[in-house]
């Protein structure tokens, strides 16, 4: 039974993420932790699991269920309470962690993410948890249950972000920043960090509230209307917005315009490559990432490696195994700072970007980035036809674009000599094939590619 998606386990608390289910996942995680700590080839990590949660109203009960499962499997629990997901990941270094969060999902949902040494579980560990949930794990003897105690890692996490950011850019003294916390976990991290770095910070939706009354948890142009209006009528230098658990970041300029996520990645990636001391600095990103990232990384003397969506950690490991020094990794709105830690961290990106803006101004950082028009559309495709459709597209799409460079490792990605590109890949969650494109005439490119995709769907029987 497959439980994990690209960002942990998520679902309705009435239908999927019930207390009973949370108990079974906690026990499965705990059993695996005990086995790793005591079996053949035992690791140096103790059988200890830090458990945290976001501000959702269902989080306290579900965290208690996870904690009970972990302890009844024989592992120890450290209760971290309410904190951002990056802070929980930070606290899981040298041990394990479980975070109760559904990120940007509505308040009716909750979810579970599992960490080891600051990194989310890889697919092998996830599969082991799934097998234990399916097969069931009995409690250990009463005198072998784990212990529990309360810990407070939040302050240490914030200090770590501040110290990391101070190695980049210049002091943020006098910089004016607005942070829209979305009544989520960003309220416990980013404003405090930016103030410590010297910025003058105003918060919107800065109280933690699991009903998300100020705006929906997912930061989009529509849900960030208040932030955009506030910025456009003021003289602030920068706007930052987070999702419910503060691993994602959205960046706005002083006029309230949302920067394209790949422009933000290009700015940060170029900076990290330029300051790298390694001979082979690498930036890891995903197939749907813009060519503007490649351009700025190449200009700085680095290279880009791509990996499937949701697999940044695998991409980092592969690049390192190939001899590269990974200086940054990112997929849309989610950034990993390897010199800070192995987790996605919205506050770390906000802190570094704030200091870079203080040094060069946002316009100055943005100026070298080629920002072509970008679109994403979906073409209906039944799930059972996706493999056949993609097989057909591996030949028909390159045939329609004879002068382009083609990569079929993660879908079909076609790059053109002028830097424009398109990517076609199947959705992992819905009955669609996604089409991404970036070009000066993006509408024409989208129309051309969607026609090819529609023909492939029809030819496959759709």
Residue with tokens 């300051």: 275
- Tell me the C-alpha to C-alpha distance, in Å, between residue 273 and each of 11, 107, 210, 249: 38, 39, 39, 21
Helix (H) or strand (E) holding 314: helix 312-321
Structure tokens at 197: 């770095």
The neighbour count for residue 83, using CB atoms within 10 Å, is: 26
Helix (H) or strand (E) holding 349: helix 346-360
As to burial, measured by CB atoms within 10 angstroms (0-12 exposed, 13-18 middle, 19+ buried), residue 386 is buried
DSSP assignment of 243-273 equals -TTS-B-EEEETTSPBPPHHHHHHHHHHHHH
Rounded Cα gap, residues 92 and 155, in angstroms: 15
Please give the sequence-ordered ranges of beta strands (E in DSSP) within 117-215, or none if there are none: 119-120, 148-150, 176-180, 200-204
Rounded Cα gap, residues 28 and 91, in angstroms: 20
Residue with tokens 């890949």: 425
Active site residue 43: no
Rounded Cα gap, residues 160 and 289, in angstroms: 29
All residues at 6 or more sequence positions from 57 whose CB lies less than 8 Å from its CB, including other chains: 107, 210, 211
Residue with tokens 């570094």: 352
Helix (H) or strand (E) holding 240: strand 238-241
- Strand 119-120 vs strand 109-116: parallel, antiparallel, or unpaired? antiparallel
As to burial, measured by CB atoms within 10 angstroms (0-12 exposed, 13-18 middle, 19+ buried), residue 409 is exposed
Catalytic annotation, pick one of 24, 92, 103, 349: 103
Q: Which positions are annotated as active-site residues? A: 103
């Amino acid at each position: 039974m497959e439980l994990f998606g690209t960002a942990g386990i998520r679902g309705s608390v009435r239908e999927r993420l019930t207390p009973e289910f949370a108990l079974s996942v906690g026990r499965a995680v705990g059993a695996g932790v005990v086995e790793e700590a005591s079996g053949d080839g035992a690791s140096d990590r103790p059988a200890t699991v830090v458990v945290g949660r976001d501000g959702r109203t269902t989080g306290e009960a579900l965290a208690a269920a996870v904690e009970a499962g972990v302890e009844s499997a024989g592992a120890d629990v450290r209760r971290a309470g309410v904190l951002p997901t990056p802070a929980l990941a930070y606290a899981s270094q040298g041990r394990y962690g479980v975070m109760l969060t559904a990120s940007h999902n509505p308040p009716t949902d909750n979810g579970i993410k599992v960490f080891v040494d600051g990194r989310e579980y890889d697919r092998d560990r996830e599969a082991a948890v799934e097998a234990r949930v399916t097969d069931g794990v009995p409690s250990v003897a009463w005198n072998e249950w784990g212990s529990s105690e309360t810990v407070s890692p939040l302050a240490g996490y914030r200090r770590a972000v501040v110290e990391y950011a101070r190695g980049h850019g210049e002091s943020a003294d006098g910089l004016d920043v607005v942070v829209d916390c979305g009544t989520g976990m960003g309220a416990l991290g980013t404003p405090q960090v930016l103030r410590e770095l010297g910025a003058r910070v105003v918060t919107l939706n800065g109280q933690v509230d699991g009903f998300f009354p100020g705006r929906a948890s997912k930061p989009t142009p529509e849900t960030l209307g208040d932030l955009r209006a506030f910025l456009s009528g003021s003289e602030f230098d920068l706007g930052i917005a987070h999702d419910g658990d503060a691993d994602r970041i959205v960046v706005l300029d002083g006029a309230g315009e949302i920067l394209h996520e790949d422009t933000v990645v290009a700015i940060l990636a170029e900076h990290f490559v330029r300051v790298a001391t390694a001979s082979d600095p690498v930036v890891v990103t995903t197939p749907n990432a813009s060519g503007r990232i490649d351009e700025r990384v190449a200009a700085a003397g680095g290279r880009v490696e791509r990996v499937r969506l949701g697999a940044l950690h695998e991409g980092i490991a592969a690049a390192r195994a190939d001899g590269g020094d990974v200086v940054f990794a990112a997929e849309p709105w989610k950034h990993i700072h390897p010199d800070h830690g192995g987790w996605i961290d919205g506050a770390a990106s906000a802190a570094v970007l704030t200091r870079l803006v203080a040094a060069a101004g946002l316009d100055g950082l943005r100026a070298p980035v080629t920002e072509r028009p970008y679109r994403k559309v979906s073409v209906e495709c039944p799930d059972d036809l996706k493999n056949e459709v993609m097989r057909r597209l591996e030949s028909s799409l390159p045939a329609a674009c004879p002068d382009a460079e083609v990569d079929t490792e993660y879908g079909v990605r076609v790059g053109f000599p002028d830097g424009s590109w398109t990517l076609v890949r199947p959705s992992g969650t819905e009955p669609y094939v996604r089409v991404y494109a970036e070009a000066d005439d993006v509408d024409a490119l989208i129309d051309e590619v969607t026609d090819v995709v529609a023909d492939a769907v029809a030819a496959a029987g759709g």
